[in-house]
Amino acid sequence: MTRAFDKVPNSWHEQIINLLAERVVIVDENGIILYINEGYCEFIGTTMEEALGRHVQDVIENSRMHIVAQTGLKELASVQQINGSEMIANRFPIVEAEQIVGAVGNVMFRNPEEWRMYKSKIQSLVDELNYYQAKVQRDLQSKYSFQDLIGDSPNFLAAKTLAQRVSRSDSSVLLIGESGTGKELFAHAIHHDSNRTAASFVAINCSSIPEHLLESELFGYEDGAFTGAKKGGKKGQFELASGGTLFLDEIGDMPLTMQSKLLRVLQEKEVVRVGGHKSIPVDVRIIAATHRNLERMVEKGDFRQDLYYRLNVIKIDIPSLRTRKEDIPAIAKRLLKKLESRFFRNGIELSSEVTERLMQHSWPGNIRELENVLERSINVLDGKYILLMHLPLYLRDRETEGRNAGILHNEQNVSLSSISSAEPIKILPLKETLVQAEKQAIERALVVTKGNKLEAAKLLEIGKTSFYDKCKLYDIN
């Protein structure tokens, strides 16, 4: 049978080879060179006459052509050192009548300059890849230790001591505390002090991920599992954390349907990716955190009882800032050091009046609110001392509030005759008083959360829809 290539004139063959594959060598089953084109000869500094009939190893540096001719295994995109440069070579066995009779190979790129240009482009991509790989590795490590947990108050020291004591265990830990008390810092510190410190620390906020994406985020997905799925699939947080620690923040906001799937993973110690069928073993220590009352949620049926007991092996209550006000000066000092590096400032201190005012505040947003207050103060600061004038308005207003409260206290202790002769106290209707108090609470929550309405709603422990309705009612943007 006449093959299509037979119609191509023999005089064309070598020209075609030179045009399509710039450096080509052909050897027999013993590695003897049968053909080498001019481009290859020019690159390695030889001639066709000198190369033909010689063993390929004697002509081409670091060649593996003779190995391919013996094994019959092709080698694609293989790195080969030639003349001090790294070339990319392809090698293929030649088979006739089911017998390996030789091999053909080519080195890519037309000249060393082209390789250098290509190498330069590849190197920049490699550098970028290495940068992001290193960044991912840093992101998957604990960032805080127990030394970063500041405070000497008895209730805080009790929580810190318990956390240190259980850090080397593999038991699940449940961190309970209001928003902004430092639950994530505790989780980082526990991992940092554990036997898993060299492995990954993976944190995921269960309230910030839409319900329909939470399963694939936790357990991963296979290629083509759903529209928009990443080619090749994706590992879930459980797989990324295997051997280390998985921190499930705001576990109380996890939907019931996901709670049952999470419980299965914790019991079986294996995950099945979305769209997959294969079970993947995982070795993960769980640290969960919430500001909600999980026991009450269990009673109402909003949280699975079996999952609660699975997570609540070691429970650590993290105290709010208002219950350990003696720690505020030390915490503020540490936060100032952190903020100084961000603002390229140095030596910032609190005035005694500011320290006293901070100690008087109830801190509904806890340490997160304190950090926001200090950040705001540094933004408007000219010198090195934070004064009362640099504090947010709602903290400065405490002076007026305190004075008014003192006046009212004195007025309550005077006689009825004195009251009748004094200027009458303005009393607002209870409904209007409650409205003003509610509006003020919303405005303060928005200050604490830097305008994040979803976080502010959580801080006030009301629903998102109700919060937006109240903002609209009180004309709060």
Contact criterion met (CB below 8 Å) for 102 and 95? no
- Measured CA to CA, the distance from residue 84 to residue 44 in angstroms comes to 11
User: What averages of pLDDT result for each successive group of 10 residues across the chain (477 residues)?
Assistant: 65 70 86 89 88 93 91 86 77 91 81 65 70 61 88 95 95 94 95 92 90 90 83 90 94 93 93 92 95 93 95 95 95 93 89 93 93 92 89 73 43 43 57 78 85 85 82 78
pLDDT at 464: 82
- Tell me the three-class secondary structure of 398-431, residue by residue: HHHHHHHHHHHHHHHCCCHHHHHHCCCCCCCCHH
- Measured CA to CA, the distance from residue 79 to residue 87 in angstroms comes to 6
pLDDT at 69: 92
Which one, of 461, 465, 173, 187, lies nearest residue 297 by Cα?
Answer: 461
Which one, of 336, 248, 356, 326, lies nearest residue 292 by Cα?
Answer: 248
pLDDT at 473: 77
pLDDT at 104: 93
Instruction: Please state the domain extents for the chain.
Output: 12-108, 146-226+233-319, 324-404+428-473
pLDDT at 359: 93
Which one, of 267, 287, 281, lies nearest residue 194 by Cα?
Answer: 287
Contact criterion met (CB below 8 Å) for 190 and 166? yes
pLDDT at 401: 45
Helix (H, G, I), strand (E, B) or coil at 47: coil
Q: What φ, ψ does residue 425 adopt, rounded to 5°? A: -80, 135
pLDDT at 224: 82
pLDDT at 138: 57
12-108: CATH topology is Beta-Lactamase (3.30.450)
pLDDT at 410: 46
pLDDT at 467: 84
CATH number for the 146-226+233-319 domain, one of 3.40.50.300, 3.30.1330.20, 3.90.1010.10, 1.10.3720.10? 3.40.50.300
Residue recorded with tokens 């081409």: 60
The CATH code of domain 324-404+428-473 reads 1.10.8.60
Contact criterion met (CB below 8 Å) for 313 and 171? yes
pTM of the predicted structure, to 2 decimals:
0.60
